[in-house]
Amino acid sequence: MKVFTHFLLWNLGLASAETQTTEAERESLARHASGKKHLAEIGVWHGVTTCRLRSAMSPDGTLVAIDPYPTGRLHFSAQRVIARREVSKIPSGSVRWVRKTGAEAANHLVCAGSEQFDFVFIDGDHSYEGLKGDWLGWSGLVAACGVVGLHDSRPTATRRIENAGSVRFTRDVILQDPRFEVVDEVDSLTMLRRK
């Protein structure tokens, strides 16, 4: 469905916010985000996973929602409008919106002396170079025992994505990183914990 058509239908209550995550992936994310206080999501889209994370996190937690949200032909981002409205329906904790790429946001947070995160979900640019930039920026911002979720990091029986850049970078680099250990694998999602 075209973006503007979907936006109109969503405004009329005839379409839902969209996500590429499965229900099982969202359940895993919520389980690992439960009670966390300092969270980040790279790649928000319509905010479906953002809502799940906000519902699961500590009531006094902060979720940093990161997405560049490029403007469309009508000079606004329909996805951004949808995400902000959907996420505003969840009362738990607070959300800080950052309109940057994951790598840009990580660089900004490092320069600002940000505290470390106890939960990070990376679901932004799924190219090899895109995930590389996100991983190099964010892996050092994860606290000891903090959790990182990687979407589209492994193929499934229904999603044959073996050659996707995100799958190759996860296999060749992230799974070899001695700072992290795999704690869960659900569909195309890999969850790691920092040792």
Whether residue 1 has pLDDT greater than 70: no
39/120 Cα distance (integer angstroms) = 6
Report which of 98, 165, 105 is spatially closest to residue 134, judged by C-alpha positions: 105
Structure tokens at 163: 């050659």
173 or 4, greater pLDDT: 173
80 DSSP 8-state letter: H
Over residues 80-92, the pLDDT tens digits come to 999 999 999 999 9
193/39 Cα distance (integer angstroms) = 14
User: Residue 150: what are its φ and ψ, rounded to 5°?
Assistant: -120, 115
Where are the domains positioned within the chain?
A: 19-194
The fold of the 19-194 domain, in CATH, is: Rossmann fold (3.40.50)
Mean pLDDT calculated for residue range 172-185? 98
> What's residue 73's pLDDT?
81
Distances from the Cα of 43 to the Cαs of 16, 49, 63, 125, in angstroms? 18, 10, 13, 8
Mean pLDDT calculated for residue range 164-171? 98
Determine how many CB atoms are found less than 10 A away from the CB of residue 140: 12
Is the separation of the CB atoms in 40 and 64 below 8 Å?
A: yes
Mean pLDDT calculated for residue range 9-15? 94
| Residue 74 pLDDT class (50, 70, 90 cuts) | confident
The CA-based dihedral angle spanning residues 29, 33, 82, 170, taken in that order and rounded to the nearest 10 degrees: -50
Is the separation of the CB atoms in 66 and 124 below 8 Å?
A: yes
Does the pTM exceed 0.85? Answer: yes
The residue ranges of DSSP E strands in 67-140, in sequence order, are 94-98, 117-122
Structure tokens at 188: 């195309």
Is the separation of the CB atoms in 86 and 61 below 8 Å?
A: no
Is the separation of the CB atoms in 142 and 177 below 8 Å?
A: no
